Structure formats: structure tokens, C-alpha cells
């Protein structure tokens, strides 16, 4: 990639349908690290361009961490943890400051949403949803500091044991690009548990992380408690994983990178939690409301252009309703407007990068070569930006690569099945286990099938619903640990048993 020394925007922002405030912010802000409460610009490791996926043009440039920035961010988080400026703050005070962060994110939601559209290529409508999710998630975790508690295990009478729950220490959060502002929810969970954090955003979407850390400072979260380290996976990401002063890693992203992180963390027996990919089965039974199922199965692969870890990319349809459902899915998919993520009429936006577009196009070729029937789409669009048509393969066999590998793009594989047993067997025949969907109006089946599915989330007669209190994560190679809910806190806490001998009972 080309290096550039221009810290500010390289295209004319007046052409962008963004507020004057956002344009001004983008012109003047440094897309840098946030270390010990200070935004730090590019150092000796230089910069990378930040691309707008809707146009393929560079809109800004970002700082890239080298080893010295990695050290500085970790030292900042370590110091902040050890001196107790956050860890030992009155829990009510922690709650107030986290709640203030949520309030400030709400105040700046429009700006954050606009910035997510610029570097993430996220449809403007969906970026609003992401910003709202950030507000709700931080609000949810802001209630936790006063509710954390340990236990007093049963012991012989001459002993008292307090099992306390303590923060792990310094948390490295390594995050993907498909919902940039939403990463603050994981930050809030780690902070609610009393830790210090180093957020490593994806190098494709560096912008809102800086704003979120600034808002945290404004909310009264002390400097050094929420740091941001910008840069590549190889240097910034791997640097956090390898460093002895980072106590745990929470990662969201691809299986390959997750595997590499878990292996590297093993060298120090470091805890990791991993939210990885999926090849989620979206199962439609013959007794389903077919209109609702068609709406949902289409939305579950076209939403965010398929760049969602829970994309329902394998649609399993009972043979008796196969043709009717497929026709309805095609109907809902063929007229969709594909365009610039800022265009309010666009229903499908760009993919994140030229690499991702190549990857998706590569899978379309693979699907054709494997003998699947291309019934919709199949092509890239235009020569500017990274657009791909919604693409449907029918007659897919579950052994094909387009049924087994995460594509992370608008590509649906439709697989017919005969019986309920059949559906469960095919759904579970995957290395992944992130999510599944079930469409049925039979109340027994609606309870029976989810029990048999190997997935961290099963949605029945709905899909991709999320709520901050509901745990979210995978089984099998979709990872371990949970985001959201009380369970997410478990990844950021450790138990200490304190024994006190009080002498024999009288
Ligand atoms: P990635 O998993 O490599 O990147 C995610 C994050 O990990 C980024 O912040 C990156 O800088 C960091 N990273 C990369 N290599 C690292 C390493 N060795 N050590 C520590 N951190 C590292 O995903 P990428 O390259 O952006 O996309 C590749 C594919 O991954 C996509 O095509 C898609 O299929 C899948 N993906 C899945 C996601 C999900 O939520 N399931 C999210 C993003 C990508
Ligand atoms: Mg990668």
C-alpha cells in the first residue's frame, strides 16, 4: 500500500452528504492512537490510507503502530490498572461515568454513524442502527459495576473463604471492520469489570475508535483506561497478543486469525475469547409463514452486504416448499438498489475492500465450478467502489465449498432437505456453530429443533435480533467466550479465593 504523509483528507468532502460538523471533524482530526488520554499521530512507522469503500478513494490517512507505539499503549494501560485509578474507583462512580459515555455516544450518534459510512462503507441506515446499539450496549454495561459480586463457599467451620471476582488486568480488544462503532460495547464490558483496555480497531475502519476514546475521556473515564492502538494485525494485533503485560485478548474476526491468536497466546498461557465466523443455517420448514421466511432469509444475507458474522448464508428449505420459497426470495432480491452507502435509496452498499470483493467474486466462480445453479446475480458492479450483486446459488450440496466456507459477502447457498432429521443433520454438518434460524409454525418443532442445533444462538421465526442482555457467541470453530449479557463479563474477570483461618468453633 502507498504511504502518504498527509494526515488529513485527500478528497473533497463538500461532495459528501454529511453534516458540516462531521466534515469539519474529519478535516481536522488525527486518526491516531489514543495513549494515556492523548491522541498520538503517526510516528516512524508512518501511515496507511483510509478508503471509502463506496468510491475506492482514499479519504484520509491513519497512524500505524510500530513496536514503540505498541509498548507505549500497553505501558499506559498497565500503569492505569496498577495505580487503581479505575479499578478501585467507587463502583457507583464507575457506573455514572459509563452512563455518561453512553449519553455522549447518543449525543454524537449522527457523527459516529456518518464516520462509519465513510470508512466502513456501511449503509447510512444500518450505521444508525450500529450507533444505537453502541448506546444501548454501553448503557447496559454501565449498570454492572455495583452488581458484581463473589461468593462464600461452604467450608469447614474453622475457615472462612471469600471467593472474589477481580478484573483480569489489561485487556486487548482486537476488532473487525463490519460494525465499527459497536466495538465500544466490548470496551464497556471490559471497563465495567474494572479492567484497562487497549482497543485495536481493524485497519480498514480506524476513525470512530478515536472519537469513542475521546468521548470516554470527556465522560470522566481516566486517561490510560481506554487506549486505542491503530495499525495492522501483524504488528499492533500480534504485538498485544504476545506481550506479557496484556492479560487477556478478546478477538472478533476470521477463524484463521482467531486460530493464530489462540496459538500465539498459548505461549504465555494467556486467556483468549474468540468470536469468529459462521456459516449459519437458516432453516425453513414447510409449515413456515413463507412470506415472513422469504423476507428474513433474504435480509439475513443481503444485510451489510453479507458482511455479518451471523449471515444466514446457508438457506435450508424443505423440498415441498422449495420452489415457492426460492421464487419469493428471488422476487425480494432482484430489484434491490445497489449503491453508494450514503445514498438513501441504496439497499445494498459496497464491500469493505478490493480484497474482499475479489474474495467474494472468487467464491462465485468456485460455486459455478462446483456445479451449483446460479439463479440470481453473480457479478461485480461498476469500476469504482467495491460492489457485488446479491447472488443466489440453488441446488447446493452441503459438501460444496460455498456451503462450508465463510464468504462474508452477498452470496446465498440454497440447500433442499426432506425431513426434520435431515435439516438438523445438514445444519450441524459444519465446522462453524455461530447461529441458526428456524422458521416453523409448529410449536413443538419450534422447541425441538433448536435443542438439537449446535449453535451459540438460535432464532425462531425471527433472525439476527440482538439485545445487550442476551449472550452472543459461538460453538465449535465459531469460537468461545460470549459477547453481550452478563456472560461477557466472565471473559474479563477472574476469581480469587481468600482463605482466613478463624480457629475452631467453640
Ligand atoms: P481478520 O480476522 O484478519 O481481522 C480482524 C482483526 O484482527 C483486525 O483488527 C486485524 O488487524 C486483526 N489481525 C489480523 N491478523 C492478526 C494477527 N496475526 N494477530 C492479531 N490480530 C490480527 O479479518 P480480515 O483480514 O479483515 O478479513 C478476512 C476474512 O475474515 C473476511 O473475508 C471474512 O471472511 C472474515 N471476517 C469475519 C468476521 C466476523 O465477524 N466473523 C469479521 C471480519 C472478517
Ligand atoms: Mg486478515
pLDDT in tens, 311-337: 999 999 999 999 999 999 999 999 999
Ligand 1: which residue has its CA nearest to atom 35? 254
Asked whether residue 354 falls in the same domain as residue 400, the answer is yes
275 part of the active site:
yes
470 pLDDT band (50/70/90 cuts)?
very high
Asked whether residue 290 falls in the same domain as residue 348, the answer is yes
Q: Which of 178, 180, 182, 253 to mutate to test the pocket of ligand 1 (most atoms within 8 A of CB)?
A: 253
Residue 503 to residues 159, 160, 162, 321, 408, Cα–Cα distance (Å): 7, 10, 16, 73, 62
309 part of the active site:
yes
Q: Distance (Å, rounded) from C-alpha 127 to C-alpha 39?
A: 24
Query: Given a cut of 80, is residue 504 above it in pLDDT?
Result: no
User: What CATH number is attached to the domain comprising 105?
Assistant: 3.40.605.10
The model's pLDDT over 165-197, given as tens digits with 9 standing for 90+, comes to: 999 999 999 999 999 999 999 999 999 999 999
- Work out the average pLDDT over 237-242: 98
Residue 202 Cα: closest atom of ligand 1: 9
- The cell numbers describing 192, all together, are 465495567
CB hemisphere CA count around 343 (13 angstroms): 12
8 pLDDT band (50/70/90 cuts)?
low
- The cell numbers describing 149, all together, are 459480586
Asked whether residue 226 falls in the same domain as residue 330, the answer is no
Ligand 1: which residue has its CA nearest to atom 13? 233
- Work out the average pLDDT over 207-224: 98
Mean pLDDT computed over every residue of the chain: 96
Ligand number nearest to the C-alpha of 234: 1
**Structural domain boundaries enclosing 333:** 281-467
Asked whether residue 269 falls in the same domain as residue 376, the answer is no
Asked whether residue 265 falls in the same domain as residue 295, the answer is no
- Helix axes of 124-142 and 109-120: crossing angle, nearest 10 degrees: 130
In a domain, 501, yes or no: no
Asked whether residue 377 falls in the same domain as residue 444, the answer is yes
Q: How many CB atoms lie within 10 A of CB 218?
A: 13
Asked whether residue 193 falls in the same domain as residue 154, the answer is yes
Asked whether residue 309 falls in the same domain as residue 221, the answer is no
Q: How many CB atoms lie within 10 A of CB 490?
A: 17
| pTM of the shown model | 0.97
Q: What percent of the chain has pLDDT over 70?
A: 98
Asked whether residue 217 falls in the same domain as residue 336, the answer is no
- The predicted pLDDT at position 506 comes to 65
383 pLDDT band (50/70/90 cuts)?
confident
Query: Given a cut of 50, is residue 6 above it in pLDDT?
Result: no
- The predicted pLDDT at position 5 comes to 41
In a domain, 167, yes or no: yes
In a domain, 2, yes or no: no
Ligand 1: which residue has its CA nearest to atom 26? 176
In the structure, which protein residues have their CB atom closer than 6 angstroms to any atom of ligand 1? Answer: 174-176, 178, 200, 202-203, 232-234, 237-238, 241, 252-254, 257, 260-261, 276-277, 309, 356, 359, 406, 408
CA 90, 83, 219, 490 dihedral sign is: negative
- Work out the average pLDDT over 370-399: 97
Q: Which of 199, 257, 261, 358 to mutate to test the pocket of ligand 1 (most atoms within 8 A of CB)?
A: 257
Q: Distance (Å, rounded) from C-alpha 241 to C-alpha 283?
A: 38
Asked whether residue 129 falls in the same domain as residue 250, the answer is yes
One-character DSSP codes across 314-351: EEEEEHHHHHHHHHHHHHHHHT--B--TT-TT-SB---
The model's pLDDT over 83-133, given as tens digits with 9 standing for 90+, comes to: 999 999 999 999 999 999 999 999 999 999 999 999 999 999 899 999 999
Closest CA to 484 of 494, 475, 476, 474: 474
Amino acid at each position: 500500500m502507498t504511504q502518504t504523509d498527509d494526515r488529513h483528507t485527500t478528497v473533497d468532502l463538500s461532495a459528501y452528504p454529511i453534516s458540516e460538523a462531521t466534515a469539519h471533524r474529519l478535516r481536522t482530526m488525527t486518526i491516531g492512537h489514543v495513549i494515556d488520554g492523548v491522541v498520538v499521530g503517526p510516528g516512524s512507522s508512518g501511515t496507511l490510507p483510509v478508503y471509502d469503500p463506496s468510491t475506492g478513494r482514499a479519504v484520509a490517512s491513519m497512524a500505524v503502530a510500530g513496536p514503540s507505539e505498541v509498548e507505549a499503549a500497553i505501558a499506559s494501560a498497565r500503569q492505569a490498572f496498577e495505580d487503581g485509578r479505575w479499578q478501585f474507583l467507587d463502583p457507583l462512580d464507575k457506573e455514572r461515568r459509563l452512563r455518561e459515555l453512553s449519553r455522549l455516544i447518543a449525543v454524537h450518534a449522527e457523527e459516529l454513524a456518518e464516520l462509519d459510512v465513510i470508512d466502513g462503507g456501511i449503509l447510512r441506515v444500518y450505521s444508525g442502527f450500529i450507533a444505537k446499539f453502541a448506546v444501548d450496549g454501553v448503557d447496559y454495561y454501565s449498570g454492572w459495576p455495583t452488581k458484581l459480586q463473589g461468593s462464600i463457599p461452604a467450608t469447614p467451620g474453622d475457615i472462612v473463604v471469600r471467593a472474589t471476582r477481580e478484573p483480569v488486568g489489561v485487556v486487548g480488544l482486537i476488532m473487525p471492520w463490519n460494525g465499527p462503532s459497536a466495538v465500544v460495547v466490548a470496551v464497556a464490558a471490559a471497563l465495567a469489570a474494572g479492567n484497562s483496555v487497549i482497543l485495536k480497531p481493524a485497519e480498514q475502519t480506524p476513525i470512530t475508535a478515536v472519537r469513542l476514546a475521546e468521548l470516554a475521556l470527556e465522560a470522566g473515564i481516566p486517561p490510560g483506561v481506554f487506549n486505542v492502538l491503530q495499525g495492522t494485525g501483524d504488528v499492533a494485533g500480534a504485538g498485544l497478543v504476545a506481550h506479557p503485560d496484556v492479560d487477556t485478548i478478546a478477538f472478533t474476526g476470521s477463524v484463521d486469525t482467531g486460530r493464530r491468536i489462540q496459538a500465539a497466546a498459548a505461549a504465555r498461557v494467556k486467556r483468549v475469547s474468540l468470536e469468529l465466523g459462521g456459516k449459519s443455517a437458516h432453516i425453513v420448514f414447510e409449515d413456515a409463514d413463507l412470506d415472513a421466511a422469504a423476507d428474513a432469509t433474504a435480509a439475513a444475507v443481503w444485510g451489510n452486504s453479507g458482511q455479518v458474522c451471523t449471515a444466514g448464508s446457508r438457506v435450508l428449505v424443505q423440498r415441498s416448499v422449495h420452489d415457492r420459497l426460492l421464487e419469493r426470495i428471488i422476487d425480494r432480491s432482484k430489484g434491490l438498489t445497489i449503491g453508494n452507502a450514503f445514498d438513501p435509496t441504496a439497499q445494498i452498499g459496497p464491500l469493505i475492500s478490493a480484497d474482499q470483493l475479489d474474495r467474494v467474486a472468487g467464491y462465485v466462480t468456485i460455486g459455478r465450478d462446483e456445479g451449483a445453479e446460479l439463479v440470481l446475480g453473480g457479478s461485480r458492479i461498476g469500476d469504482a467502489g467495491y460492489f457485488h450483486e446479491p447472488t443466489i446459488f440453488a441446488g447446493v450440496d452441503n459438501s460444496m465449498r460455498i456451503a462450508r466456507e465463510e464468504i462474508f459477502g452477498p452470496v446465498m447457498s440454497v440447500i433442499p432437505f426432506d425431513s426434520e432429521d435431515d435439516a438438523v443433520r445438514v445444519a450441524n454438518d459444519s465446522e462453524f456453530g455461530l447461529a441458526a434460524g428456524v422458521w416453523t409454525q409448529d410449536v413443538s418443532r419450534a422447541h425441538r429443533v433448536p435443542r438439537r442445533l449446535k449453535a451459540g444462538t438460535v432464532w425462531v421465526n425471527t433472525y439476527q435480533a440482538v439485545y445487550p442482555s442476551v449472550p452472543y457467541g459461538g460453538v465449535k470453530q465459531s469460537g468461545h467466550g460470549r459477547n453481550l449479557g452478563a456472560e461477557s463479563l466472565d471473559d474479563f474477570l477472574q476469581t480469587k479465593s481468600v482463605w482466613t483461618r478463624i480457629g475452631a468453633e467453640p
